[in-house]
Homo-oligomer: A and B are copies of this chain.
Amino acid sequence: MELNLILGVSVIGLLFAGYLIRNVMKRDTGSERMQEISNAIKAGAEAFLRRQNRTIIYLALALACVIYILYAFVRTPQTTDPAAPSQLALWTTISFVLGAACSVAAGYMGMWVAIRSNIRTAAGALKDMNSALQPALRGGAVSGFFVVAMSLLGVGGLFAVVQSVGVTSDPKSIPLLIVGYGFGASFVALFAQLGGGIYTKAADVGADLVGKVEAGIPEDDPRNPAVIADLVGDNVGDCAGRGADLFESTAAENIGAMILAAGLYRANESVFHAQNLTLLGVLLFPLVARAFGIIASIIGIMSVKTNDKEDPMRALSRGYYVTAVLAMVGFFVASRWLLGPDYYFNFFLCGMIGVLTSIAFVLITIYYTDYRYRPVLSIAKASQTGPATNIITGVAVGMESTGYPVLVIAAAIVGAYYLGEHSGLQNAGLFGTAVATMGMLASAAYILAMDTFGPITDNAGGIIEMSQQPQNIRERTDRLDSVGNTTKALTKGYAVGSAALAAFLLFSAYLDEVKIYMPSFSGSINLNKPEVFVGAMFGAVLVFLFSSLAIRAVGRAAYSIINNVREQFKNNPGIMKGTSKPDYGQCVDIATKAALKEMVAPGLLVVLLPIAVGLAFRWLFNATGRPPFGASGAEVVGGLLMVGTIVGILVALFLNNGGGAWDNAKKYIETGAYGGKKSDTHKASVVGDTVGDPFKDTAGPSLHVLVKLLSTITLVLAPLFI
């Protein structure tokens, strides 16, 4: 029953995505000039994604072999194994490959639709606001539903298959056999986000520095040879990257929550029995809750309509509230059904904590990145004394912005744990935090739709600008574009918040898993052991090194683009006069090559460091067995994971919010404050904006993925460190 519901709703989600595609595709595609531009973007984006996917697939297949070999030949089989060692190796590898494949597919589909929605949004803008808003949101929603439904289908399907082929007799062990799915998804997400993030910001920084600053031409001017690369970047960075990011969030959270649900059942078997609650019901509760979230999001998306007078942001918010309220109702139903009338209520409240947490994160993000409030205004003010004070203030704002989110997360974790612990069930505190995470991710499909809305409207604006449409049409897309910027910022806040909450769930699952394989494990990650402390330091430093590599990659790639643009301007003076067309393809090509090259080093660092640390300390432990090597590899990696997560989230907040604040400080000055455009104050603010670009669109979002990848990688490899 539960499984049928889950699989059924996943299919409905996919069908709905198909319906949205048809709905978008049959819309008007505008003039020939517009199509020409759109086709150039399409070609660039598809070429990049194809090449990026090829690289990722090779890397994933190589890693799949490594995982199989490690499991089958390096690992010491334990009597506590949840299945026969060969089966364990096989299913871990299969689920990894499947997770990777689904993640690639979800990312590709999201972008496929996005690069077809942009032209339709632009064409709609020629008519009225509603005709522009709907294809943008529905195009974005394709990505949202594809991601969430595919992740649910993958996890649910794997569960069904493993159960039916009889790999293990105990359903509680199934989540341990399919943890690879989350890892595969994260692995792809990391490279997708990194590669896309480097591409988009290299093109953006390159286009801005030569175009806007040196040549003095406006943004999206057709004379700028890097302008198409810039528009391509919006798709590959924001659509494909964020799609993969949220795909792995939901997949990892699903599996982690199931592991904790298994633990909950174990601790309360007799109680559940007395209440006629089935093991399968408890185990699949996270997936059922997600399924209800999909239905809520479908209704939410369909309810969004607007007209030329309304602020489009209001229409989007209305849809979000519809989704959130329906998701709460669904949550209530799911928890009462599967956790029983005596125990469900505290867990329902945990889910509400999750919803409130997501709202709190959105509000905090607005406070720190919107120019109605003090932080951004202080940066704008500081720009009067030049770029240096602009940067100093922006860094201070970014660092400050870590404060409230930590308070919120702390309150959410402690609150949900408290509710779980006092639910009447035994050892239910951790499960309470897991349920809060589910609550937070319930509206993921809608949030992702709003996120992908951003690059679509951005592209639509670019198409309108480049095809030189009249002023009133431009104003329409400008308004949509600014809404898109807001939704992008909000979803980034949402993504980091859900990463933080999911992380606590995931490393609880990690410890549960280690305990199953090694019953002697105390379950404690004791920072007072020198080796665990060292692991913790490695976790923290990993975040800094990764950010450094990601930021530097953008700098290097942008440098190549800048040189190419300068050369084109020099060799062909007709470009600036508007008499001859620049060669857009060169910049697209350079950005593609550079992004693919630069994403490898930071990506491999994140994957290999935890493996190396875990195996090294496992070996040292086996060789000496006493301090400073008295902790198992699993405990050392636990320290790495937890402190890496804390630092990763803080640095991500710093980078995202600092970057967002710089961006909007510039926009505020462009409204006319402190001398407005072309003033020295504005120039100073452009420096901050450019610095913020790789912070907020490359390193920051990649850190969300890093945080979750650390969890999934350790979940998969935990048995090796013992």
Contact = CB atoms under 8 A, between A and B. Distances in A.
A54 to B, nearest CB: 28
A555 B691 contact: no
Interface string A594-638: 000000000000000000000000000000001111000000001
B555 A389 contact: yes
A391 B433 contact: no
A413 interface: yes
A508 interface: yes
Contact of A382 (B537, B538, B548, B555): B555
Interface in A94-133: none
B209 A558 contact: no
Nearest to A400: B548
A705 interface: no
Contacts of A686: 388
B523 A528 contact: yes
A687 B541 contact: no
Nearest to A552: B396
Nearest to A382: B555
A227 B392 CA distance: 22
A508 B646 CA distance: 22
Contacts of A421: 626-628
Contact of A418 (B402, B527, B548, B628): B628
A534 interface: yes
B433 A530 contact: yes
A691 B391 contact: yes
Given A544-B402, A545-B402, A643-B643, A530 B429 contact: yes
A526 to B, nearest CB: 4
A663 to B, nearest CB: 13
Contact of A530 (B389, B396, B504): B504
A375 to B, nearest CB: 10
Contacts of A647: 540, 646-647, 650
Residue from A403, A558, A691 having most chain B Cβ neighbours under 10 A: A691
A403 to B, nearest CB: 5
A531 interface: yes
B399 A544 contact: yes
Interface residues of A, number: 78
A281 interface: no
A612 to B, nearest CB: 13
A545 B413 CA distance: 21
Taken together, the copies of this chain in the complex come to 2
A162 interface: no
Given A396-B551, A552-B396, A687-B687, A385 B530 contact: no
A154 interface: no
B531 A414 contact: yes
A650 B540 contact: yes
A382 B429 CA distance: 51
Nearest to A413: B530
Interface in A427-460: 429, 433
A683 to B, nearest CB: 10
Interface string A517-538: 0000001111110110110111
Contact of A687 (B386, B395, B562, B638): B386
Nearest to A213: B386
A116 B437 CA distance: 63
Contact of A526 (B414, B524, B643): B524
Contacts of A213: 386
Nearest to A539: B646
A222 B230 CA distance: 50
Given A417-B530, A417-B628, A537 B646 contact: yes
Interface string A368-391: 000000000000001001111101
A285 interface: no
Given A391-B691, A410-B538, A527 B397 contact: no
A544 B653 CA distance: 11
A508 B528 contact: yes
Nearest to A403: B545
Given A391-B687, A410-B534, A690-B388, A628 B429 contact: yes
A629 B209 CA distance: 53
Given A396-B552, A627-B417, A628-B418, A527 B530 contact: no
Nearest to A531: B414
A88 to B, nearest CB: 25
Nearest to A500: B537
A313 to B, nearest CB: 29
Contacts of A558: 385, 389
A501 to B, nearest CB: 12
Nearest to A417: B628
Given A213-B386, A627-B429, A414 B534 contact: yes
Given A385-B562, A552-B393, A537 B409 contact: yes
A195 interface: no
9 contacts: A393-B555, A396-B547, A396-B555, A398-B548, A399-B548, A402-B541, A417-B628, A421-B626, A647-B647
Given A205-B389, A388-B691, A389-B690, 6 more contacts: A209-B385, A389-B559, A399-B548, A400-B548, A525-B527, A526-B527
Interface of A: 205, 209, 213, 382, 385-389, 391-393, 395-400, 402-403, 406, 409-410, 413-414, 417-418, 421, 429, 433, 504, 507-508, 511, 523-528, 530-531, 533-534, 536-538, 540-541, 544-545, 547-549, 551-552, 554-555, 558-559, 562, 626-629, 638-639, 642-643, 646-647, 650, 654, 686-687, 690-691, 694
- Listed from nearest, the 8 A-B pairs whose CB atoms lie closest are A399-B548, A388-B690, A396-B552, A417-B628, A524-B526, A400-B548, A406-B541, A410-B534
